[in-house]
Amino acid sequence: MYIESKNRHPWAHALTLCMLIAVATSCVQKEFPVTESIRFNQLGFYPSEEKVAVIFSDTVGNLPFSIRNMANRKIVYTGVSSELRSSSFSDKKTSVLSFSDVTAPGQYRIEVPAVGQSHQFTIGENILQDVSLAGLKAFYYQRASTPVEEVYAGQWNRPSGHPDDRVMVHSSAVSPNRPEGTVISSPKGWYDAGDYNKYIVNSGFTVGVLLSLYEDFPDEVKQQDGNIPESGNATPDLLDEIHWNIDWMLTMQDPADGGVYHKLTEPEFEGFIKPTDCQKQRYVVAKSVTATLDFAASMAQASRVYAGYGADYPGVAEKTLSAARDAFNWALKNPDILYRQRDMNEKFDPDITTGEYGDRAAGDEFFWAAVELYVTTREAGFLKTAMAYAPETYRLPTWGRVSGLGAWTLLRYAGSLEDESGKELAGKMQSQLLAYADSAAQNVESAPYYAPYGREAGDFFWGCNSDAASNQGITFLYAWMLTKDRKYLTDALRDMDYILGRNATGFCYITGQGYKSPMNPHHRLSASDELVDPLPGFMVGGPNPGKQDGCEYPSDIPDECYADVTPSYASNEIAINWQGLFTYFSTALNASLQKE
């Protein structure tokens, strides 16, 4: 800036001098173009935790960078990024910037003169609190058979849909007490995903994950205010929300024999229409051993949790336990009745073409159900079954592979188990889980995105943001809880950083969060309202080179196979099981970091 000397006010000299000094000390801000090539957790960083960003670039590494505090415009840190690195399956390169020494809460940005300046970010406490509450709230938006009210949902309010009070028993599901054509009432529950159906396998899994969050982090869960209709009662909002789904699940059990219908569904998927416009007849379809065992497991777990909340939920502990026992007995008598949609359609009408949630074996479901029943009742018979089906290795729990949920429960209750064989089983689960965590945590510092997740092509498949990334993060949290070794907590946070922006697409994969998040999820509720913004707080499935939806994807590279378009159900759908894992992960990680 040039100021005419003859008009100068005496102060002007001082001002000019200050500006010269400022330029010299770089307290004057130089503007660079804002770039999305500088990628990091878009929700921010905790003051005393690791802080890493990457430059997504195919040019050069070793680039000088600075961190600017946006309050006083001062540069507070300078450094040089790493050499270029890449993964085995991608030609894209990254260069890692590390600035963990910056610890003061505030707003900052990263400047890399050769590349540009980043979006602003926050350093502060409780960075994941908002997203974890949004994660819980998402379940409220998924509620069937009730109006979603403006006072809780703001602009996303909607009238009640899918009363499900006149559901037909499908010909595949008839029993002597319920002949074909029988109509039952099966209201409430959560819509499964982008579709409007309700599937017991996925519901049981989701309830199991969310109840585990309560059991592992009760203090944090009790403090949450989700602003849902039940928020005023004496029960934590998370448990109120879960109960909405449990109430539905209980209607899916045939009272005559304890078997549980696989799903409640329309015969083929509805169009992208509002719940109030859906006219198709809905059916309960075929009992299956996997649905029945997932039901037994989650009900047995619910029984011990709701025992503490009898004032708001009288009789629920007793009802869920007896439902779990009946279900388990049905499964023992019918261990081979797997759900096979194609076979079923050959025998029964009308054809059912909605989500299958099929399986090839039910050993992992037997394990999970037996563990939950054992821990709740302490009866030796259940322990014996659990031992018979115990896994040989720890696998990240997903809807079709649930043994990990049994492992989590055994680890949680290991200290209170009295039988020697129960303790031994818990010990086995502990070594298996730690072996997984240790192998997943190898050489993370040399990874292109500085995270354990995302280094292999196999990390990317339908639902991987949750079934792989969030799940691995939770497993690191278990490893941390078991050992108190802080390295596991850091690795969990690195996986979270990946999910929230430090990745190959630059997306923060939760709707309504960060500066770049999915706008067009495969979600009938979001797509059929008149609003631009999707319903908030939902995790989308993520990059999936399987591309089973036949959509146009921006790339063939596994970690870039993500299309933010409504038709992309293979990369951009939302689902309660994914939401459950992400809600566990974000709530538990925030709690663990705040406790430290």
Binding site for ligand 9MR (CB under 6 A): 193-195, 269, 355, 567, 569, 573
Question: Considering the complex, what minimum distance in angstroms separates the CB of residue 379 from ligand G3I?
Answer: 33
Q: Are 241 and 314 in contact (CB under 8 A)?
A: no
Closest CA to 558 of 36, 40, 39, 88: 88
Question: Considering the complex, what minimum distance in angstroms separates the CB of residue 541 from ligand 9MR?
Answer: 9
Q: Where are the beta strands (DSSP E) in 267-350?
A: 283-287
365 binds, among ligand G3I, ligand 9MR, none (CB under 5 to 8 A by kind): none
Catalytic residue among 164, 195, 220, 559: 195
Contacts from 548-556 at CB under 8 Å and sequence distance 24+?
548/462, 549/522
Question: Considering the complex, what minimum distance in angstroms separates the CB of residue 388 from ligand G3I?
Answer: 24
In the complex with ligand 9MR, which residue's Cβ is closer, 91 or 552? 552
Question: Helix, strand, or coil here: 476?
Answer: helix
For 400, the token pair is: 């079709």
44 binds, among ligand 9MR, ligand G3I, none (CB under 5 to 8 A by kind): none
Taking the CA of residue 324 as centre, how many other CA atoms within 13 Å lie in the half-sphere pointing to its CB?
30
Task: Estimate the share of the chain in helix, then strand, then coil, as percent rounded to the nearest 5.
Answer: 45, 10, 45
In the complex with ligand 9MR, which residue's Cβ is closer, 194 or 506? 194
In the complex with ligand G3I, which residue's Cβ is closer, 194 or 204? 194
Q: Are 204 and 362 in contact (CB under 8 A)?
A: no
573 counts as catalytic: yes
512 binds, among ligand G3I, ligand 9MR, none (CB under 5 to 8 A by kind): none
Cα angle: 460, vertex 465, 467; to 5 degrees: 85
Catalytic residue among 111, 522, 523, 559: 522
Residue nearest to ligand 9MR (CB): 195
Question: Considering the complex, what minimum distance in angstroms separates the CB of residue 172 from ligand 9MR?
Answer: 19
463 binds, among ligand 9MR, ligand G3I, none (CB under 5 to 8 A by kind): ligand G3I
In the complex with ligand 9MR, which residue's Cβ is closer, 89 or 269? 269
269 binds, among ligand G3I, ligand 9MR, none (CB under 5 to 8 A by kind): ligand 9MR
Question: Helix, strand, or coil here: 169?
Answer: strand
Catalytic residue among 111, 266, 294, 564: 564
564 counts as catalytic: yes
Taking the CA of residue 488 as centre, how many other CA atoms within 13 Å lie in the half-sphere pointing to its CB?
22
Question: Considering the complex, what minimum distance in angstroms separates the CB of residue 215 from ligand 9MR?
Answer: 30
Sorted by sequence, the CB contacts under 8 Å of residue 480 that are 6+ apart come out as: 486, 488, 489, 492, 592
Q: Are 566 and 272 in contact (CB under 8 A)?
A: yes
Closest CA to 49 of 538, 499, 491: 491
Question: Considering the complex, what minimum distance in angstroms separates the CB of residue 249 from ligand G3I?
Answer: 17
195 counts as catalytic: yes
Closest CA to 247 of 375, 335, 136, 144: 144
In the complex with ligand G3I, which residue's Cβ is closer, 56 or 196? 196
Q: Provide the binding-site residues for ligand G3I, judged by CB under 6 A.
A: 192-195, 355-357, 398, 458, 461-463, 467, 546, 548, 569, 573, 575
Q: Are strands 283-287 and 167-169 parallel, antiparallel or unpaired?
A: parallel
In the complex with ligand 9MR, which residue's Cβ is closer, 189 or 258? 189
462 binds, among ligand 9MR, ligand G3I, none (CB under 5 to 8 A by kind): ligand G3I
Residue with tokens 């009789």: 315
What residues are labeled active site? Answer: 195, 522, 564, 573
